[in-house]
């Protein structure tokens, strides 16, 4: 297990720490217009539990020519939202110029995005820019599951004096993300929490889910695991959103989602064990696939033997010392801690198949 000797956390008394209920951050994927921001924020202000309004100001897009955010103009709208509704504000920053503009416009919480966390140089520059500044910072996990890289980003920020610090779980890019947009890999976050139990951890349910139908189960799992907060994307008219329309909710829909969640009788330890069992089941599935692949490869090798003359097959069968093969397998099974009866049963079935296929043909 990776340990972090540098990251030292004290009392959980900052903005990011959970009190009786998880902190809820909500707002549009992208700031598109002042009217859109205000209309969405007015709807969110009515919801119990939402205390921080977020919006994407600069959008890291895979290819040029797509909507990359409104930039500084969006910060002006974010400031207006704060003044009118009283909600704290948050936005993602990816460099020192973003940090300077966000601080200038009195943003309350900064978020380091997944594509920034992967670059220690960028994280260090942001950390240096925040020296002497008192502001909460949430650090999203890197795109790929790399715990030392995630912890390293947190450590760099704390070394620069950021005391109200938290981790944001937004899911990971894996070979098979289905049914999610980004695979949650809950066990990875559980390892982070085991290393630093006092570190506030938030769940970016929208970027894990990628679609509305998965928002509730993802949010509920995070709450059951004892997360400090949720981040959910909301838009007054998701159908018209310029980015990630499929994962945004109208404020009234978000209200129904939050009310449907079970915040009582939560047992994080039981939930953690459930995560471990889920991960073990996945490992069993992968191993079963590998076993099936091995059996398939063995069958193909056996099939090639059919092309030889039957007399040659019979001669080959005579030199197979089955008892010796079984004895060696049982010795290996004993060394590996595998049940001998199981190995013997499988071996006997393989031998029976071998004999039925070739001995009776010969």
pLDDT digits over 153-212, tens only? 999 999 999 999 999 999 999 888 889 999 999 999 999 999 999 999 999 999 999 999
Q: Same domain, yes or no, for 104 and 221?
A: yes
Q: pLDDT (tens digit, 9 = 90+) per residue, 88-140?
A: 999 999 999 999 999 999 999 999 999 999 999 999 999 999 999 999 999 99
How high is the mean pLDDT of the chain? 86
- The per-residue pLDDT for 65 is 72
Q: Same domain, yes or no, for 44 and 158?
A: yes
- Residue 135, number of CB atoms within 10 A of its CB: 17
In the chain, the largest separation of any two C-alpha atoms, in whole Å, equals 92
- The per-residue pLDDT for 120 is 97
CA gap 100, 125 in Å, rounded: 12
Q: Same domain, yes or no, for 106 and 215?
A: yes
| Kind and range of the H or E run holding 233 | strand 229-233
Coarse DSSP helix, strand, coil percentages of the chain, rounded to the nearest 5 percent? 50, 10, 35
Q: What is the DSSP string of 326-347?
A: HHHHHHHHHHHT--HHHHHHHH
CA gap 299, 246 in Å, rounded: 46
Sorted by sequence, the CB contacts under 8 Å of residue 159 that are 6+ apart come out as: 6, 127
The residue among 23, 25, 130, 39 whose CA lies nearest residue 77 is 39
- Does residue 13 fall inside a structural domain? no
Tokens read off for 291: 């076993």
CA gap 25, 132 in Å, rounded: 25
Q: Same domain, yes or no, for 256 and 294?
A: no
- Phi, psi values for residue 10, rounded to 5°: -105, -135
pTM here? 0.78
Which domain does 312 fall in, by range?
A: 272-359
13 falls in which pLDDT band (50, 70, 90)? Answer: low
Residue with tokens 């795109």: 143
Out of 264, 280, 310, a domain closes at 264
CATH number, domain with residue 169: 3.20.20.70
- The per-residue pLDDT for 6 is 55
Indicate the length of the chain as a whole number.
362
Q: Same domain, yes or no, for 278 and 333?
A: yes
Out of 222, 245, 264, a domain closes at 264
CA gap 213, 203 in Å, rounded: 16
- The per-residue pLDDT for 357 is 62
- The per-residue pLDDT for 327 is 82
| Kind and range of the H or E run holding 26 | strand 23-27
Tokens read off for 185: 């890999």
Task: Count Cα neighbours of 157 within 13 Å in the Cβ-side half-sphere.
Answer: 28
Residues 329, 330, 334, 340: what is their CA dihedral angle, to the nearest 10 degrees? Answer: 120
């Amino acid at each position: 297990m990776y340990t972090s000797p540098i990251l030292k956390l004290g009392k959980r008394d900052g903005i990011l720490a959970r009190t009786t209920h998880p902190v809820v951050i909500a707002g549009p994927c992208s700031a598109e217009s002042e009217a859109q921001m205000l209309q969405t924020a007015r709807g969110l202000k009515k919801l119990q539990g939402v205390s921080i309004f977020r919006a994407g100001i600069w959008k890291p897009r895979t290819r040029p020519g797509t909507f990359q955010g409104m930039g500084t103009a969006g910060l002006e709208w974010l400031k207006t939202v704060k003044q009118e509704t009283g909600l704290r504000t948050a936005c993602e920053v990816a460099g020192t110029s973003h940090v300077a503009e966000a601080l200038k416009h009195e943003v309350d919480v900064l978020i380091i995005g997944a594509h920034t966390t992967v670059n220690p140089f960028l994280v260090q520059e942001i950390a240096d820019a925040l020296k002497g500044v008192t502001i909460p910072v949430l650090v999203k996990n890197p795109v790929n599951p790399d715990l030392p890289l995630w912890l390293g980003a947190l450590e760099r920020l704390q070394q620069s004096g950021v005391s109200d610090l938290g981790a944001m779980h937004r899911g990971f890019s894996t070979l098979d993300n289905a049914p999610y947009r980004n695979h949650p890999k809950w066990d990875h976050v559980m390892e982070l929490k085991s290393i630093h139990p006092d570190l506030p951890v938030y769940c970016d349910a929208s970027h894990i889910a990628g679609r509305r139908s998965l928002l509730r189960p993802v949010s509920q799992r995070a709450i059951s695991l004892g997360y400090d907060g949720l981040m959910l994307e909301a838009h007054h008219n998701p159908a018209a959103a310029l980015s990630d329309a499929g994962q945004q909710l109208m404020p009234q829909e978000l209200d129904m989602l939050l009310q449907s969640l079970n915040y009582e009788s939560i047992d994080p330890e039981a939930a953690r064990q459930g995560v471990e069992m889920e991960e073990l089941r996945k490992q069993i599935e992968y191993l079963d696939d590998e076993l099936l692949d091995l059996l398939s490869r063995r069958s193909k090798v056996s099939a090639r033997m059919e092309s030889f003359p039957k007399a040659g097959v019979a001669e080959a069968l005579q030199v197979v010392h089955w008892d010796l093969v079984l004895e060696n397998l049982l010795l290996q099974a004993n060394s590996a801690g595998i049940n001998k009866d199981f190995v013997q049963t499988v071996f006997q079935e393989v031998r029976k198949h071998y004999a039925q296929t070739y001995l009776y043909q010969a």
